[in-house]
Structure 1
Amino acid sequence: MPRHRARKQAQPTGYVPRVGQVALLGAGVGVAALAGSVGYVRSFARGRLFSAADVPYAPVGLVLGALAYSDGTPSPFLQARLDLARQLLAAGKIGMILVSGDHAAPAFDETLCMQEYLHARGVRRDKIVVDRHGYDTYDSCVRARDVFGVTKVTVITQSYHLPRAVGTARAIGLDANGVGDDTVRERRTSWTRGAIRDQLACLKTVTDLALQRRPVLQNPTDQVQRALDPARPRHN
């Protein structure tokens, strides 16, 4: 083979090490960005996470949506959130329940599932308000404020999700506390997957907060206020 062709095919000296350095630098920047976003979002929730027994009263309990099965039953994670909301309502820790989720979820309408599950277990219909456009945590919090007029709230979800959920609520100006569920922690694979996904979601949350992203909105409604009105006729 001619010399000049052999030289042409040779890799530049130091090429491979430089590629490795760039890859390591990129990975380091990504890890730093993720860690920073997790710390930033969670900082808003500091001192605002409680047990069911110790959480201060709030007029509204916000249950964040999760998977509902095609037969209309809640997944174990969603069921645990709903059961915790029922417990808080029965204990007088919240005045009503706002269920927020995706009405067009692939398997089943999350909000319909949540509403029917609560009612079937003794929660009066006039104590349940449905937000059918809570497509993610940020949307649910902004819509609770802007559509339903919520100012003070107890957020109800799994404990690994709670710091981000409460942090998001407080970052947009809600007076929010949170109670987390741990009863499904024994489902280790699902729990670990959810915890990892939640940390990754902090990057999106920071972006949403920085851009003040507007979710699907509609005209404000007084449904929450009417659910809290003691003079309103009861509807079982």
Structure 2
Amino acid sequence: MRRRLGAARRWHTEHRRLVRRTLFGLVVGAVVLAGGTVASVSWVRGESDGHLYSEADVPAAPVALVLGTKVDADGTPSPILAARLEIAQRLFERGKVIAILVSGDNMNADYNEPEAMLRWLVDRGVPARKVVLDYAGFDTYDSCARARQIFGVERATVVTQSFHLPRAVALCRRLGIDAQGVGDDSAKQYSRTWRFGSLRENGACLKAALDVLSGREPAHLGRHETGVEDALRDV
């Protein structure tokens, strides 16, 4: 009996120690995560400071880089994506960009963001020869890295929603593109989507910082593509 009681006491003692260690580890992890998030948000803001413009005031650049997002089941851009494309269309019409690089997800044959963006722009008068497609822009980091490494973009105006813009511009600039940005605010009417997107930026900034620090390569690279160069020459 005494042996069983002693074993039980030892088990409870070890169990309490394990619980305390686990809780301590969780608290330390949460503190580190919170600190990293705050630092990464600060980095994004500092990197993009002075490079975010209104549509009316943005300087001219050779290329508009439009970042992809959800395409509806019928193959048309979601309202959030259409708002980005409207800005790019107006920048092109006003001569503030010469070519438009649309970068998005084409992970499988049934889902194609770049083709949907191309159709939207062409239907509204942008010549197809001025629209260049990047089918492997699976996230913001990949889109920025591929714009520089695959398409040779050196200077660009990034177009996305305003809550996403600082991170996109910061990544492009850190990855070698002299980037400025124009953000859309019209999509605030979709309040739930806007709130969710704004909230997730904190975590996304931490991921962006880790991607930069690790120097990871995009999911897909490959040979140099001349689409942007061809579009810029065709004046």
Q: Tell me the distance in 1 between the aligned counterparts of 2:198 and 2:228.
A: 31
What is the total number of aligned residue pairs between the two structures? 231
Deviations 1:178-226 (A, max 9, x none): 0000111121211111122222122222222122212212221222122
Q: Tell me the distance in 2 between the aligned counterparts of 1:149 and 1:12.
A: 59
Higher share of residues assigned helix: 2
Alignment correspondent of 2:50: 47
Alignment correspondent of 2:216: 213
Amino acid paired to 1:135: F
Tell me the TM-score normalized by structure 1.
0.89
Tell me: CA distance 1:19–1:95, structure 2 relative to 1, closer, same or farther (3 Å). Answer: same
Q: Tell me the distance in 1 between the aligned counterparts of 2:154 and 2:6.
A: 75
Gaps of 5+ in 2: none
Amino acid paired to 2:189: E
SS of residue in 2 equivalent to 1:155 = strand
Q: Tell me the distance in 2 between the aligned counterparts of 1:107 and 1:159.
A: 29
1:185 aligns with 2:188: yes
Out of 219, 229, 233, the position equivalent to 1:229 is 233
- Checking the alignment, whether the CA contact within 8 Å between 1:102 and 1:109 is kept in structure 2 is yes
Following superposition, the deviation at residue 113 of structure 1 comes to 0.4
Q: Tell me the distance in 1 between the aligned counterparts of 2:14 and 2:234.
A: 79
1:61 aligns with 2:64: yes
Q: Where do residues 71-220 of structure 1 align in structure 2 (5 Å cutoff)?
A: 71-104=74-107, 108-215=111-218, 216-220=220-224
Amino acid paired to 1:50: Y
Tell me the TM-score normalized by structure 2.
0.89
Tell me: CA distance 1:105–1:93, structure 2 relative to 1, closer, same or farther (3 Å). Answer: farther
Q: Tell me the distance in 2 between the aligned counterparts of 1:219 and 1:59.
A: 22
Q: Tell me the distance in 2 between the aligned counterparts of 1:125 and 1:19.
A: 58
Q: Tell me the distance in 2 between the aligned counterparts of 1:6 and 1:142.
A: 58
Deviations 1:145-194 (A, max 9, x none): 11111100000000010000000000112100000001111212111111
Deviations 1:49-105 (A, max 9, x none): 000000000010000000111211111111111111111111221111100011125
Amino acid paired to 1:222: T
What is the root-mean-square deviation of aligned Cα atoms in Å? Answer: 2.1
Q: Tell me the distance in 2 between the aligned counterparts of 1:149 and 1:26.
A: 40
SS of residue in 1 equivalent to 2:98 = strand
Gaps of 5+ in 1: 232-236
Amino acid paired to 2:99: M
